[in-house]
A and B are shown apart, each in its own frame.
Chain A
Amino acid sequence: MPVLKVSGLKKSFGTVHAVRDISFAVEGGEIFTIIGPNGAGKTTTLEMIEGLLPPDSGEIAFGDLKWGRNTEQIKMEIGVQPQSSALFDLLTVEETLKLFATFFTRTKPVDEVLEMVNLTEQRNRHVRKLSGGQKQRLAIGLAMINDPGIIFLDEPTTGLDPQARRNIWDIILKLKEIGKTTILTTHYMEEAEKLSDRVCIVDQGRVITLDTPAALIDRLTSEREVRLTLTDGEAAALATEQTASELDTVTKIIREGSSLQVWTTHPENTLYSLFGFTKENGYRVEQISIREMSLEDVFIAFTGKEWRD
């Protein structure tokens, strides 16, 4: 039985249809990521699931628990990190955690939470003196103070530098290790790909597709982009382009000076042929790469839109 089941969610603000039709089910212990561009309806969906917004229609069930009937119980069982970190600036890290701890019947020891979000050293620092990443970690710490089974993280890494982002990834993976279910929204494809067990792509208030990152990528066409840069100038590149165009597996070629972009359905065969040609003619190859397909390509393929961070 899924720990969270959402079906047919709808929500409008006046004439704006923020969420048109969203359904999914989250299994215990997984990292479930909702991804989509700004305004796709991610936060609205999350806020409905968190009980902050009543949906216009649709069902939300945490096992047998439902908002309205079991509000207090659900609040005890979930942990939420909202998009705006929303902290009391003038309290210290430890004071903030202790304050929130008094709201719940079951709590995780403050020291353990500090340890998990790596804020033990900053425990006596005022919140307003924390860096963006530290604030975000505290917000995640608050979401786990009641030792919840399900944790919601709404864009936990937006606006953070790469190092701070990686720290948050570590925390999310630790949560999975101890058996928590995490529902994550993000802006960053790379993040979704690295962390998620399953990804739900949302656009214009609808679920576009839902699967594991690997399965989503596999569903794309098998065409790959190969890039070559030749050391011996344009003439060499021109000759190589000529050869490539004669191969069956190549579907498209773009040449820019001494650089080639070759799209192929069988990258290994294509490369074998091209390297045979360059070796024969004594051309040297400066750079070579095969671009991996990513969730970004999945997004583009499914929505027909350019991905914007």
Chain B
Amino acid sequence: MAFKQFSSMFSAQVKMMFREKQVWFWNIFFPVILMVLFMIIFGGGMSSDGFQAKIAVVDEKPNASSAMLMESLKGVPLLTLKDEAPVTLEQGEEWVKEKDIDALIVLPAQEGAAEIGLLINMEREGGATTQAVAGILDQVVQGMNFAVLGAEPQYSVAMKSITSASDDISYQDFLLTGMIGLAIAQGGLFGMVDQVDMRKRGLLKRLHMTPARMDLFGLSGMIVRLMLGIVQIVLLTLVGVIGFGANLHINPLTLLIAFFGGALVFNAMGYLISSFSKTMEAYMGIANIISMLMMFLSGVFFPVETLPEWLQVVPKVLPLTYFVEGMRDGMIYATDIFSADFWIGIGLMAIWGIASFVLAAQLYKSKSISSVR
């Protein structure tokens, strides 16, 4: 009997959730769009995969050396020539000033030992692109020197990453996990608006007129929301890994604990909001304020350390900070479940969840369902 009720309630709630267009938009498309935008805006410069520098070449007196250099430069995939043919020095300098190109390379005017000029915009002198172009040019020149001397290079650098996983975090990884945490937290915070809607439309009362078990109804709703959370994790992870080359180091147990813990805590917070919101609009307003405040102060998009120092105390009390941290522990740091920091975070988060639930239960009890008309 109980199982029959539970399974029919569960399947009804699955249908209701996935037939609601709002759910698709806010829980599926919106987090993906937000993540893609942030990845594009802030992710580009911090990754080496997408590096491209635009240059131009000045070759005032073409000669054998300059031709050879020109060929070598064209062979470097990271450099794009604004103009295939060499340009005049004036034109090139103009482009540098206008920032049309990242660097101007002036080829030697004679064969044999000579200098190769590298012109860059002063504003960008210390930039990563400039450093990279200089480095590339250096390598090209060195290669030529070896060729001229007829020598084979004796030493080469074999770069190998031997750092621990936690040092190997790219912004993609950071943002991906932050977004997953945010999406799940918002799912919980906003998800309980159904409660207000059902109460307002008399649906809770309607169920109350039958022998339906309300605890099973609540439980099945909770599980449906957890399912949505899993869909969010998978989807955002796929977009992050395939679309933006994020690297994951997953510890399944840690991830599982963080996910369930967080989902429950934010559901409890949503439940609390539902206990004192008379209308759906009121609920959404409050949930929005809470979510906005937490979104920018919990290290979702940027590390908490980038906040001004006086503001850094705020993230230390917000549950989203610990949830996002926990998700990162499970998804990119591969922290095992014996980490004390991990459990301290989960514990602080749980305090929020338990306090919200207890308060909500009190508020619900103090006014019976029927009195809310």
Q: Which A residues are in CB contact (< 8 Å) with B16? A: 88, 90-91
Nearest opposing residue in chain A for B371, CB measure: A13
Q: Quick check: B209 and A82 within 8 Å, CB to CB?
A: yes
Which 10 A/B pairs are nearest by Cβ-Cβ distance?
Answer: A86-B202, A86-B206, A102-B8, A103-B212, A84-B202, A90-B19, A103-B210, A90-B16, A80-B209, A75-B211
Is A254 an interface residue, CB under 8 A from the partner? no
Is B205 an interface residue, CB under 8 A from the partner? yes
B361 to chain A, nearest CB (A): 20
Q: Which residues of A contact B (CB under 8 A)?
A: 13, 47, 50-53, 72, 75-76, 80, 82, 84, 86-88, 90-91, 95, 98-100, 102-105, 126, 146
Not counting A53-B370, A88-B12, A100-B210, a sample of 12 additional A-B residue pairs whose C-beta atoms are within 8 angstroms of each other reads: A13-B371, A82-B205, A84-B201, A84-B202, A86-B201, A86-B206, A90-B15, A91-B12, A99-B9, A100-B212, A102-B5, A105-B1
| A47 vs B5: C-alpha distance when bound (angstroms) | 25
| A53 vs B205: C-alpha distance when bound (angstroms) | 11
B345 to chain A, nearest CB (A): 37
Per-residue CB contact flags for chain B residues 1-42 toward chain A (1 = under 8 Å, else 0) read: 100110011001001100110000000000000000000000
Is B99 an interface residue, CB under 8 A from the partner? no
Q: Quick check: A75 and B210 within 8 Å, CB to CB?
A: yes
Q: Quick check: B211 and A103 within 8 Å, CB to CB?
A: yes
Q: Quick check: B9 and A88 within 8 Å, CB to CB?
A: no
Give the number of chain B interface residues (Cβ < 8 Å). 22
Q: Which B residues are in CB contact (< 8 Å) with A82? A: 202, 205-206, 209
Is B208 an interface residue, CB under 8 A from the partner? yes
Q: Which residues of B contact A (CB under 8 A)?
A: 1, 4-5, 8-9, 12, 15-16, 19-20, 201-203, 205-206, 208-212, 370-371
Q: Quick check: A52 and B205 within 8 Å, CB to CB?
A: yes
Among B8, B12, B203, B209: residue with most chain A CB under 10 A: B209
Q: Quick check: B210 and A95 within 8 Å, CB to CB?
A: no
Q: Which B residues are in CB contact (< 8 Å) with A105? A: 1
A106 to chain B, nearest CB (A): 11
Q: Which B residues are in CB contact (< 8 Å) with A84? A: 201-202
Q: Which B residues are in CB contact (< 8 Å) with A87? A: 203, 206
Is chain A's binding surface mostly helix, strand, loop or mixed? loop
Q: Which A residues are in CB contact (< 8 Å) with B212? A: 100, 103
| A227 vs B267: C-alpha distance when bound (angstroms) | 69
B205 to chain A, nearest CB (A): 6
B1 to chain A, nearest CB (A): 7
If the complex has contacts A84-B202, A86-B203, A90-B16, are A104 and B211 also in contact, measured as CB distance less than 8 A?
A: yes
Q: Which B residues are in CB contact (< 8 Å) with A146? A: 210
A113 to chain B, nearest CB (A): 15
Q: Which A residues are in CB contact (< 8 Å) with B370? A: 47, 52-53
CB-contact partner of B15 in A53, A80, A95, under 8 A? A95
| A80 vs B210: C-alpha distance when bound (angstroms) | 8
Q: Which B residues are in CB contact (< 8 Å) with A90? A: 15-16, 19-20
